[in-house]
Amino acid sequence: MSLLVVGLSHRSAPVSVLERAALSADAQVKLVQDTVAAEPATEAAVLATCNRIELYADVDKFHAGVAELSTLLAQHSGVGLDELTPYLYVHYEDRAVHHLFSVACGLDSMVVGEGQILGQIKDSLARAQELHSAGRLLNDLFQQALRVGKRAHFETGIDRAGQSLVTFGLQQLADGADVATWARGRKALVIGAGSMSSLAAATLARAGVAEVVIANRTPDRAERLAEIISEGDDTDVPARAVPMDAVPVELTRADIAVSCTGATGLVLTAEDIAAAVEGRGGRSAARPAEKAPAARTSAEDTGTRRVLPPAADENCPLDLTATTVQGGFSVHGEAAVAGLDAAALEQHAAWAAGGAVDRREAARRGPETDADLITALAATAATVGRVPERRKPEPAAETPRPEPVLALLDLAMPRDVDAAVHRLAGVRLVDIESLAEASADAPMAADVDQVRRIVADEVAAFGAALRAAHITPTVVALRAMAADVVANEIARLEGRLPALDDKHRGEITQTVRRVVDKLLHAPTVRVKQLAAEPGGAGYADALRTLFDLDQDTVAAVSRAEDGTEKNRDPR
């Protein structure tokens, strides 16, 4: 059997795809159950966070395993396989181990070095153990990943390279200011009472906000979190719990709002936020009204400026609205009117002057009128050096956005807050998508290289232990066979020497056993060493062949060891 991981994360997929592929708690359970029920897999675990969805499995066939795991991910995420496939990544055996260890150390996180992922890996393992889908391989893998992550944080300064997603999000809201200085004295609303929301509430309390309000669909959890915040030893910030239907009112009082729920739909719409901001004192959060096209002035204005019709007026006989503009005039002016008859020119001139011309009457004008108009046009062109044209519309002055009165941090996946809120005046929204963009430019700490070396060493050690463990059942079966041979030979000796006393019988038995042990010691130790090296998987097969070991016996030893492993305390 071999380790396989199929998944997608913020590194491989856009946030819009991650958002749609997010798995609820029930969907994660069903995915694990369906994976172990599938033919290629015997063990399975799901690691699902706000920026990754990964399915780990012990499979006996690589290609069949990739196909089955990819299909199951698509089915349970609700994103079609054809759409999902371009964003999936696959890691196998040592590469899969390396990937999980890197994830555990925070190297693959959106915010490098963040430590929240360790709790998420622990939860993933606990869920798999509850579902009895984690056997020896995944138990060893996830427990070792937790140890590697803890070692990286303990032995290096990776914590200085990054922080939690909550802290990073608050830093983005503060827009370069110190978070504690920015948050001090403000009122905070936290929607949700899970691990991320709890961390947000605690972080805001330590930053010195004036109050923390917790809203959650389960009142008991909200009250418990509020109690923890209020009774914290390192803060004196009051906290209270409110029902979810109180959120609209609380938004009108809050300066900072953090949302991280497990809801599958929007928790806060743009209309909700606009109403909350307007309810703070009459300041509207609606988008600035669309500006009407700016009025224009004629090119030949002198003295009093003359207002002309908008550029997009449908009565204009010439399609000049699509022309490019340089220096205030359309570069296609002469070309646009070249070849037009006098009636059309008169129409355009009358329209540009703000008047109106009956097109049917203009069409009845004769050639003489055409000649007069063309002569006048030529004279004007000779005087000013070009055909008089409409001036480019003055650019509309952009209304400056007011300072935000409400700062929103959306850490949910799928999103809790409508993305349209980004366009509201008086609001600053930071969500997973904007965090992904900001983190792309975040500086990397020097300690990252040291963590990478730790990961490489731990992957090598885990691979060696895994390969050595693969041959252990064969070695155990070999020693069991040798013990049976010794027992049979002692029984034969007793048949031939019935008068042998117990003392001599014991000495002979011990001597034969020592001989067998010494003969087997060197080859079994050496075969374990060889099997631990890359490419050493074939030594188990060689040992079974050389000693004609029964495959069923070896399999029975493996099952017995797996049963012992499953009963081991995961902590």
The verdict on whether residue 423 carries a ligand-binding annotation is no
The pLDDT score that the predictor gives to residue 187 is 94
The verdict on whether residue 195 carries a ligand-binding annotation is yes
Task: Give 307's contacts (C-beta < 8 A, 6+ positions apart).
Answer: 295, 296, 297, 354
The pLDDT score that the predictor gives to residue 57 is 96
What number of other Cβ atoms are within 10 A of residue 292's Cβ?
8
The verdict on whether residue 196 carries a ligand-binding annotation is yes
Task: Give 290's contacts (C-beta < 8 A, 6+ positions apart).
Answer: none
The verdict on whether residue 52 carries a ligand-binding annotation is yes
Q: Are 216 and 198 a contacting pair, CB within 8 Å?
A: no
The CATH number that domain 2-162 falls under is: 3.30.460.30
The verdict on whether residue 192 carries a ligand-binding annotation is yes
The verdict on whether residue 197 carries a ligand-binding annotation is yes
224 CB burial (10 A radius; 0-12, 13-18, 19+): middle
What residues does 302 pair with on adjacent strands? Answer: none
The verdict on whether residue 105 carries a ligand-binding annotation is no
Query: Can you give the pLDDT of all 571 residues of the chain as single tens digits?
Result: 689 999 999 889 888 888 889 898 899 999 999 999 988 899 999 999 888 999 999 998 899 999 999 999 999 998 999 999 999 999 999 999 999 999 999 888 887 778 889 999 999 999 999 999 999 899 999 999 999 999 998 898 877 655 678 888 898 999 888 889 999 999 999 999 888 888 899 999 999 999 999 999 989 999 999 998 988 766 789 999 999 999 999 999 999 999 998 888 899 999 999 999 888 754 444 443 344 344 344 433 434 333 333 444 445 555 544 443 343 434 345 445 555 556 666 666 665 555 444 545 555 555 556 666 667 766 766 665 555 554 555 555 555 556 788 999 998 888 899 999 998 888 999 998 888 777 765 555 567 888 999 999 999 889 888 777 777 777 788 888 888 888 888 888 888 888 888 888 888 888 988 898 888 888 788 777 777 666 666 777 777 777 777 776 666 655 555 555 444 444 4
**Rounded to 5°, angle at Cα 459 from 458 and 464:** 100
DSSP 8-state secondary structure symbol assigned to residue 169: H
The verdict on whether residue 265 carries a ligand-binding annotation is no
Q: Does domain 165-280+402-425 have CATH number 2.30.180.10?
A: no
The verdict on whether residue 558 carries a ligand-binding annotation is no
The model carries a pTM of 0.60
The pLDDT score that the predictor gives to residue 566 is 46
Domain regions of the chain by residue span: 2-162, 165-280+402-425, 460-566
Supply the DSSP string of 427-439, one letter for each residue: EEEE-HHHHHHHH
The pLDDT score that the predictor gives to residue 554 is 64
How far from 94 is each of 5, 44, 97, 182, CA to CA, in Å? 11, 17, 5, 45
Catalytic positions, written as ranges:
50
The verdict on whether residue 49 carries a ligand-binding annotation is yes
How far from 124 is each of 55, 119, 121, 142, 249, CA to CA, in Å? 10, 9, 5, 9, 37
SS3 322: coil
The pLDDT score that the predictor gives to residue 287 is 40
Contacts 24+ apart (CB under 8 A), 546-550: 547/478, 547/481, 549/474, 549/477, 549/478, 549/481, 550/477
Largest CA distance in the chain: 149
The verdict on whether residue 116 carries a ligand-binding annotation is yes
The verdict on whether residue 50 carries a ligand-binding annotation is yes
The verdict on whether residue 139 carries a ligand-binding annotation is no
